[in-house]
Structure 1
Amino acid sequence: MSDLRISGLTKSFDGHAVLHGIDLSVAAGTLLALLGPSGSGKTTLLRVLCGFERADGGTVEIDGRLVAGDGVHVRSEARRIGYVPQEGAVFPHLSVAQNIVFGLPRAQRRARHRVDELLELVGLPASYGDRPPQALSGGQQQRVALARALAPAPSLVMLDEPFSSLDTALRIETREAVTSALAAAGATAVLVTHDQSEALSLGHAVAVLSNGSLVQTDTPEALYRRPATPELATFIGDAVLLPGVVHGDRVQCEMGRLTLGRAAHAGLVDVMIRPEQIRFCSGTDIDQGHEATVDNLTFYGHDATVGLRLVNSASVVSARVAGHLSPRIGERVRVRVEGEVIAYSRVKE
């Protein structure tokens, strides 16, 4: 296992800055999810870390060894980094076993070094070693690509959106196999993704990149519950934003007087509430909460998103409920907010 330290990293193409002073640390044995929309600089950062691109400024250290810095650019093959590309990129003219040992010294290739062990590690039978990769599903090919990346016992493993081309069921199955294999190998890994649920469910830590700058690096729970900005709140998941006024450790808004999850300056703010925090009142709390009319509903089966127009207000807020509890459009309901909320100071115009 190795740690990764990035300091002040910059990269430009044709005078256009793509990475702006990236500072990031990944502890040994950690799976970091690098999350961001298309064009945010995720793949460029990954390519600089792998040595495929030369950094313009800043430093990169792997386990205390400088691999990129002022006058330093260690070649990609000398960085001991395992790389899993988006499509897996297995070689069709080689067997599964030959794919796995492809990057090893000749003697180890001939001996099929650790092939059975690596296949077991990624959740595939040893008998698959003699198969052509075309006989495997897309998810199985991604596992072979991971086994190939792990074969040389790399310092780090970089995964560039490895699940994006798979259908939903196969994606979930492959995610579980890949993360289990990384954990069993004790690998330090960076997973590039634009999928918020993937980042939150897989990463031990999540770093969010936007327009070439790191916005926030935190645990998945802290990132979701306490995003640094309202823009990040809406990117990392669905969010309800309402105007409010802070008074001490409470904030007053159209959903009532709510408890703050972190300190905020007194005055005008935007209050961030997650849709799952908006609960329908029933039973003994039926007289509590705020009256609303069901304005719209999107049914997903296991759950539903409900648009609620607050009575005596022009605001429509979104709530998330279990599918079997979905109300009817036009129905009058009472709702309340459960748990703590976050407030962001409003920019003065």
Structure 2
Amino acid sequence: MSELRISGLTKSFDGHAVLHGIDLSVERGTLLALLGPSGSGKTTLLRVLCGFERADGGTVDIDGRRVAGDGLHVPSEARRIGYVPQEGAVFPHLSVAQNIVFGLPRGQRRARYRVDELLELVGLPSSYGDRAPQALSGGQQQRVALARALAPAPSLVMLDEPFSSLDAALRIETREAVTNALAATGATAVLVTHDQSEALSLGREVAVLSNGRLVQTDTPEALYRRPATPELATFIGDAVLLPGIVCDDAVECDMGRLTLGRPMNAGPVDVMIRPEQIRISQVGTNVEGGFEAIVESVTFYGHDASVRLRLTKSNGVVLTRVAGYLSPRVGERVSASVEGDVTAYPRR
């Protein structure tokens, strides 16, 4: 498989800039999750990379071969890119096997080239080759679409929110099958998604796009624990933001004196704490740095619960997350403390 290099990529529609100088690299064999809200430009970026749209400026290189830039626009069929759309888009008048070999030369189509191998690769029995796509579930149709994308041995695989139409249980099963298939082939892939948990769990790296600009590209853990901006922190997951003051290697805020994950200059900051870092226990429990709080609300999800606390000393409000079986009662007094280091941002 190939590496992808994007430099200074721009795209506008009717004078409205959608992509602003995108710089991005995807190493060989890497699954990169491209994350962003609706309207962030992620689908436009994917379409430009696939050759469905012409870039206004910048360059795109696939394995050292330039496919866009300086007046150059290599057509999509010559870029050797596999594409999996949102709905799978399998052809209902063709069998599963015919769908898989659709993009291959005529001789290979007749020979059902690698059909059994590709079905096994995406976690489907070879007997499914003779079935009509309508006889398959939505998740199975997505696997067929992936097998079709992998059949020509593409340089890159682009996945455009391929799990968004599936229900929760089927989504998890299909994600696993797709990522296993990509890993087995050593594929270089870009997954476009607006689902934060999907991006963090599937991507080896995650690139976040906002208003046509790349905000941060990092490993899932680094992105979640050290987001570049407060806005990104709240987009990536739930975040508690409190005013604080940096002094030495720590920060003082309503939750006490906390350890910084990275050094900062002294001065006013906004402190970012993830809800799962806030531990609660019974009042009177000997917890270092604990602050008394009152439970204002509990949202129960089964496996865990979101708990809204009001700190009695400062009257500040924080959100914590606890295991479902440990959820407290509304009105209960608890002791709250922070576990681990935190991230802070200079006050604007």
Structure-2-length-normalised TM-score? 0.99
Say if 1:288 and 1:334, in contact at 8 Å, map to a contact too. Answer: no
Rounded Cα–Cα distance in structure 2 between residues aligned with 1:346 and 1:117? 56
Name stretches of at least 5 consecutive residues in structure 1 with no aligned partner: none
- Could you tell me which residue of structure 2 aligns to residue 179 of structure 1? 179
1:123 deviates by: 0.1
Instruction: Please give the residue correspondences for 1:268-279 in structure 2 after superposition, counting only pairs within 5 Å.
Output: 268-279=268-279
Say if 1:33 and 1:202, in contact at 8 Å, map to a contact too. Answer: yes
- Could you tell me which residue of structure 1 aligns to residue 83 of structure 2? 83
Kindly provide the amino acid, as one letter, of the partner of residue 113 in structure 1.
Answer: Y
Instruction: Please give the residue correspondences for 1:250-289 in structure 2 after superposition, counting only pairs within 5 Å.
Output: 250-281=250-281, 285-286=286-287, 288-289=289-290
Say if 2:278 and 2:338, in contact at 8 Å, map to a contact too. Answer: yes
1:287 deviates by: 7.0
- Could you tell me which residue of structure 2 aligns to residue 316 of structure 1? 317
Rounded Cα–Cα distance in structure 2 between residues aligned with 1:286 and 1:219? 33
Instruction: Please give the residue correspondences for 1:202-281 in structure 2 after superposition, counting only pairs within 5 Å.
Output: 202-281=202-281
* Alignment RMSD (CA, Å): 0.9
Say if 1:34 and 1:192, in contact at 8 Å, map to a contact too. Answer: yes
Rounded Cα–Cα distance in structure 2 between residues aligned with 1:28 and 1:234? 31
- Could you tell me which residue of structure 1 aligns to residue 338 of structure 2? 337
1:248 deviates by: 1.5
1:314 deviates by: 2.8
Rounded Cα–Cα distance in structure 2 between residues aligned with 1:336 and 1:97? 58
Kindly provide the amino acid, as one letter, of the partner of residue 340 in structure 1.
Answer: D
- Could you tell me which residue of structure 1 aligns to residue 64 of structure 2? 64
Say if 1:281 and 1:288, in contact at 8 Å, map to a contact too. Answer: no
Write out per-residue CA displacement over residues 195-224 of structure 1, whole angstroms, 9 at most, x where no aligned residue. 000000000000000000000000000000
Instruction: Please give the residue correspondences for 1:1-349 in structure 2 after superposition, counting only pairs within 5 Å.
Output: 1-281=1-281, 285-286=286-287, 288-347=289-348
Say if 2:288 and 2:337, in contact at 8 Å, map to a contact too. Answer: no
Say if 1:303 and 1:322, in contact at 8 Å, map to a contact too. Answer: yes
Rounded Cα–Cα distance in structure 2 between residues aligned with 1:84 and 1:104? 16
1:108 deviates by: 0.2
Rounded Cα–Cα distance in structure 2 between residues aligned with 1:328 and 1:225? 29
1:284 deviates by: 5.8
Rounded Cα–Cα distance in structure 1 between residues aligned with 2:285 and 2:299? 28
Say if 1:5 and 1:61, in contact at 8 Å, map to a contact too. Answer: yes
1:71 deviates by: 1.4
1:285 deviates by: 2.6
1:36 deviates by: 0.1
Rounded Cα–Cα distance in structure 2 between residues aligned with 1:204 and 1:169? 23
Kindly provide the amino acid, as one letter, of the partner of residue 315 in structure 1.
Answer: G
Rounded Cα–Cα distance in structure 1 between residues aligned with 2:315 and 2:140? 51
Rounded Cα–Cα distance in structure 1 between residues aligned with 2:347 and 2:289? 29
Rounded Cα–Cα distance in structure 2 between residues aligned with 1:265 and 1:97? 61
Structure-1-length-normalised TM-score? 0.98
Kindly provide the amino acid, as one letter, of the partner of residue 63 in structure 1.
Answer: D
Q: Relative to structure 1, is the Cα distance of residues 288 and 15 closer, same or farther in structure 2, using a 3 angstrom cutoff?
A: closer
Aligned residues: 347
1:170 deviates by: 0.1
1:288 deviates by: 4.7
1:40 deviates by: 0.1
Say if 1:42 and 1:192, in contact at 8 Å, map to a contact too. Answer: yes
